[in-house]
């Protein structure tokens, strides 16, 4: 398992225990509508709510595993423990638990139309048939063995692996954060679809409009989107994992993406609004820094890291996970670094797009922007197939420990969110707030998503699957479950409201989005304290094992 440098953890602990002198942070002077002066959005990959919290707060605690025991007054959560869904589930495979030894699994199908088919008009009963993805079958009709490069773990369930879930014995840190801070059990992807869709909705709330570009190395002509744009046209709503058109790391293989599909996005994103109000901000992505140039002169972004799911290494930087590279106004095509460290968060040649390592530099040197978006390197982003929940935990805990050990903690809100569900089963469906009637739709019938007469944008069927959403802050309510409807663009709305940025408009769903206000208590007399966890176990440091 890969680990982030422990110096960040040690830094925070030394400051807490010894009162070490920390750098004086150059706090922004921007006015905010709440006591929150810094927002850090950790945007991880491909998890449904039930996949991580299906039995929260009750873990199985089998022999040989450090038990997770919840706080007695933990509130009730809308998960698999209600309504008999664990053993009387309408799907062909019943939900089943995976333990920490099964952290590495097959990646599931999370395409725009297939996810809608799995919902089956709201019956939520076709997940194995429509989005389940199990181990490959060899020419002999038998599953390929673990020694085969095409092998992936499905626990013998085949496509039924999509019904699996983890509990506090595996996603221990997230369960502990939920016990001490605020979590939603009613938050959704803004639209159906994979990573690029969720990333775009996070920063603009609007996946329309995308323009398909030819891929220079292949000579592909517009019009062959193969499902990346609604209706397979050259212009429309983004529904797939196309690569960003303003990213010049074109020869870097992109995990899970057709190399021949690139798009650009029009309209505004939150970076434009922040720039207009002179609010410091940045997107910090693992592997964004270049390692030289390719033979054709393009920047090389090909660093790799190993993890449990990728022992031979996987790409740190995944272009279609970087939403600001789709917009010309906020792109850093050649991955240039800031002119100097004092420009982190400000407009210069980096254009607010940075390597993840610079977030920790900014944090420890008193240069943290007001708004920071973090993307782990591939092996630690939680995406099944090349990452896993244990490596994800390492990244989350080391990062949150570092923030809590800094002087910024006192006025910071850390938001943990996800880009899509990966197709993993979740039993909840919310209302259709945006209707669509393109050929890719299949939520309420072939080619339909809701009643189009009620209004909507083709290719933007949503809300999509239910996803985890958590707020960690001194102002977060403790051990609190927020059940008001939110979606990915609710994070966008919180940033807009906190800095008085106004709305993006042009069809953005930020205007409809539920607020995150319920997660906070800004009148609290005793701020929620730090919770320093062990990145290996997910339990508080110093807790004895049993």
Confidence (pLDDT) at 317: 95
Structural contact between residues 427 and 455, judged by C-beta atoms closer than 8 angstroms: no
DSSP label of 372: E
Residue (of 374, 411, 413, 362) closest to 26 by Cα position: 362
Number of structural domains (the chain) is 1
Confidence (pLDDT) at 8: 40
Walk across the sheet containing 235-236 and list its strands: 235-236, 210-213, 262-265, 243-244
Residue 521, both tokens:
């208590």
258 assigned to some structural domain:
yes
Q: Where are the alpha helices (DSSP H) in 163-296?
A: 172-180, 195-204, 270-276
531 assigned to some structural domain:
no
Lowest mean pLDDT among 244-253, 274-283, 424-433, 491-500: 244-253
**Buried/exposed 207-228: b ≥16 CB within 10 Å, e otherwise:** bbbbbbbbbeeeebeeeebebb
Residue 374, both tokens:
């973090």
Residue-wise pLDDT tens digits, 190-246: 999 999 999 999 999 999 889 988 644 333 333 334 447 776 567 889 999 989 999
Three-class DSSP category at 121? helix
Confidence (pLDDT) at 137: 83
Of 98 and 21, which is predicted with more confidence? Answer: 98
* DSSP of 409-422: GGGEEEEEEES--T
Residue (of 422, 521, 380) closest to 51 by Cα position: 422
Confidence (pLDDT) at 527: 94
Integer-rounded Cα Rg, in Å, for the chain is 22
Which range has highest mean pLDDT (9-13, 22-26, 40-44, 300-304)? 40-44
d(CA 430, CA 509): 15
485 assigned to some structural domain:
yes
205 assigned to some structural domain:
yes
Which range has highest mean pLDDT (23-32, 224-233, 260-269, 529-538)? 529-538
**pLDDT above 50: residue 7:** no
Mean pLDDT of 33-38: 98
Q: Give first-to-last CA distance, the chain, whole Å.
A: 23
Ramachandran class of 365: left when φ > 0, alpha when ψ lies in -120 to 50, beta otherwise: alpha
Residue-wise pLDDT tens digits, 152-184: 999 999 999 999 999 999 999 999 999 999 999
181 assigned to some structural domain:
yes
Mean confidence (pLDDT) of the chain:
89
Percent with pLDDT over 70 in the chain: 88
Confidence (pLDDT) at 145: 86
Of 415 and 545, which is predicted with more confidence? Answer: 415
Structural contact between residues 404 and 530, judged by C-beta atoms closer than 8 angstroms: yes
Residue-wise pLDDT tens digits, 124-146: 999 999 999 999 887 788 888 88
Torsion of CA 182, 111, 114, 450, to 10 degrees: 70
Ranges assigned E (strand) in 342-457 = 353-355, 371-375, 412-418
141 assigned to some structural domain:
yes
Residue 301, domain CATH: 3.40.720.10
Q: Which residue has the tokens 């954060």?
A: 177
546 assigned to some structural domain:
no
Read off the pLDDT band of 2 (50, 70, 90): very low
Residue 432: Cβ within 10 Å count: 18
Confidence (pLDDT) at 353: 98
536 assigned to some structural domain:
no
Mean pLDDT of 260-268: 87
User: What range defines the domain where residue 11 resides?
Assistant: 7-519
Percent with pLDDT over 90 in the chain: 77
Read off the pLDDT band of 543 (50, 70, 90): low
Structural contact between residues 41 and 393, judged by C-beta atoms closer than 8 angstroms: no
Would the pTM count as exceeding 0.85?
Answer: yes
Confidence (pLDDT) at 196: 96
Of 513 and 231, which is predicted with more confidence? Answer: 513
d(CA 489, CA 484): 14
Mean pLDDT of 86-99: 97
Q: Where are the alpha helices (DSSP H) in 245-331?
A: 270-276
Residue 198, both tokens:
């969720």
Residue 384 sits at φ, ψ, to 5 deg, of -60, 145
């Amino acid at each position: 398992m890969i680990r982030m440098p422990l110096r960040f953890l040690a830094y925070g602990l030394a400051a807490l225990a010894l009162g070490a002198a920390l750098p004086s942070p150059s706090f922004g002077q921007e006015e905010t509508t709440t006591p929150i002066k810094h927002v850090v959005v950790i945007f991880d990959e491909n998890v449904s709510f039930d996949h991580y919290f299906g039995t929260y707060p009750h873990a199985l605690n089998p022999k040989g595993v450090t038990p997770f025991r919840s706080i007695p007054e933990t509130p009730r959560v809308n998960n698999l423990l209600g309504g008999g869904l664990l053993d009387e589930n309408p799907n062909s495979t019943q939900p089943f638990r995976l333990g920490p030894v099964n952290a590495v699994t097959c990646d599931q199908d999370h395409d725009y139309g297939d996810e809608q088919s799995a919902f089956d008009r709201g019956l939520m009963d076709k997940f194995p048939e429509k989005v389940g993805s199990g181990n490959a079958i060899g020419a002999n009709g038998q599953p390929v063995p673990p020694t085969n490069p095409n092998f992936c773990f499905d626990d013998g369930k085949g496509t039924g692996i999509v019904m699996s879930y983890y509990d506090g014995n595996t996603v221990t840190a997230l369960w502990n954060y939920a016990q001490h801070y605020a979590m939603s059990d009613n938050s959704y992807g803004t639209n159906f679809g994979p990573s690029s869709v969720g990333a775009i909705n996070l920063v603009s709330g609007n996946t329309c409009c995308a323009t398909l570009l030819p891929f220079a190395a292949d000579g592909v002509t517009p019009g062959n989107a193969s499902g990346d744009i609604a209706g397979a046209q050259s212009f429309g709503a983004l529904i797939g994992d196309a690569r960003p058109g303003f990213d010049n790391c074109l020869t870097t293989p992109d995990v899970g993406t057709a190399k021949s599909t690139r798009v650009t996005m029009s309209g505004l994103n939150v970076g434009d609004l922040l720039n207009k109000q002179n609010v410091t901000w940045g997107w910090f992505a693992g592997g964004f820094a270049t390692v030289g140039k390719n033979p054709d002169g393009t920047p090389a972004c090909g660093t790799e890291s190993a993890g449990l799911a990728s022992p031979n290494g996987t790409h740190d930087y995944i272009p279609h996970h970087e939403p600001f590279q789709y917009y010309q106004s906020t792109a850093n095509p050649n991955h240039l670094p800031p002119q100097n460290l004092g420009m982190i968060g400000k407009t210069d040649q980096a254009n607010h797009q940075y390597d993840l390592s610079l977030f920790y530099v900014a944090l420890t040197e008193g240069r943290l922007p007001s708004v920071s978006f973090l993307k782990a390197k591939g092996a630690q982003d939680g995406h099944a197939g090349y990452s896993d929940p244990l490596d994800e935990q390492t990244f989350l805990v080391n990062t949150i420990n570092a923030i809590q050990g800094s002087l910024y903690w006192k006025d910071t809100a850390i938001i943990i969110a996800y880009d899509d569900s990966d197709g993993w089963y979740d039993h909840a469906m919310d209302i259709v707030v945006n209707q669509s009637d393109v050929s890719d739709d299949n939520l309420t019938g072939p080619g339909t998503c809701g009643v189009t007469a009620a209004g909507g944008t083709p290719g933007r069927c949503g809300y999509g699957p239910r996803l985890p959403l958590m707020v960690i802050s001194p102002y977060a309510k403790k051990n609190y479950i927020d059940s008001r409807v939110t979606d990915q663009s609710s994070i966008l709305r919180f940033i807009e409201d906190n800095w008085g940025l106004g709305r993006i408009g042009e069809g953005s769903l930020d205007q409809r989005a539920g607020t995150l206000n319920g997660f906070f208590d800004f009148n609290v007399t005793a701020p929620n304290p730090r919770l320093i966890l062990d990145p290996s176990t997910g339990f508080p440091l110093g807790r004895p094992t049993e």
